[in-house]
Amino acid sequence: MASNRESQNPVDLDDLYRDVILDHYRRPRNRGAREDATVSAEGFNPSCGDEIQLSVAILDGAVDGVGFGGSGCSISQSSASMMTEAMSGRSIDSARVMSKHVQQMLTDDSFDIDAVDLGDLEALSGVAKFPVRIKCGLLAWKVLDQVLANATGESISDDGDIPTRVTSG
C-alpha cells in the first residue's frame, strides 16, 4: 500500500529520467581522453552535427575505463557520459550485450525494458519517443561498437546513418 506521502507526491518517471540525463549533461563523467587508451574511435551524426570521441582502455579482455570528448546536444553528451560509467569493468562480451540492449531500447518498439537490468541507462528510454533524437542517443553506442570490434580484431561496417571510425588502436 502506498504511503500517504507517496500519494501526495507521486514519482513522475519522465521527470526522474530527465533529471538523470540533465545531471550527466551538466556534470559529465569521464570527460576527456584517457592516456592509457588502447583503442580510440570517433563518430559523427550528420543530421545534427553531434560528435563523440571515445578513448577506451582494454585490459585482459575487459573495459578498464572509457573517456569521451566531443560536442553536441544534451542527449548525445549525456548518453556518452552514462555509457562511460556503465562500461567500466565489464568484459568485452558484457559490454557488447549492454550496447545491444541500449540500442534496441532506443530503436525497437517491442524491446522489453523490464527483461534486462539497464540501471540508470533506462533513463535514455524516453529518447525513443522523439525519433529525431534517437541518433543523438545512439551515437556513443555506435562508436563503442567500433571500439569493441577493433579490440577483438574484428571489423564492423558503418551503418551509414552514423559514420564512425577507429582513430587508433
Q: Are 86 and 98 in contact (CB under 8 A)?
A: yes
> How is residue 65 written as a grid cell?
575505463
**What DSSP assignment string belongs to 60-115?**
TTEEEEEEEEEE--HHHHHHHHHHHHHHTT-BHHHHHHHHHHHHHHHH-TT--GGG
Backbone angles phi, psi at 85, to 5 degrees: -70, -40
Scan for cell 556513443, then name that residue: 140
Residue type, 148: L
What are the residue ranges spanned by the domains of the chain? Answer: 2-168
pLDDT per residue, tens digit, the chain (169 aa), is: 444 443 454 446 566 568 899 999 999 999 999 999 999 999 999 989 999 999 999 999 999 999 999 999 999 999 999 999 999 999 999 999 999 999 999 999 999 999 999 999 999 999 998 899 999 999 999 999 999 999 999 988 766 789 999 998 7
Residues 6 or more apart in contact with residue 159 via CB below 8 angstroms: 142
Q: What is the 3-state secondary structure (H, E, C) of 108-148?
A: CCCCCHHHCCCHHHHHHHHHHHCHHHHHHHHHHHHHHHHHH
pTM: 0.89
Report the CATH number of the 2-168 domain.
3.90.1010.10
27: DSSP letter: S
Scan for cell 569521451, then name that residue: 68
Q: Residue 63 and residue 2: Cα distance in Å, rounded?
A: 41
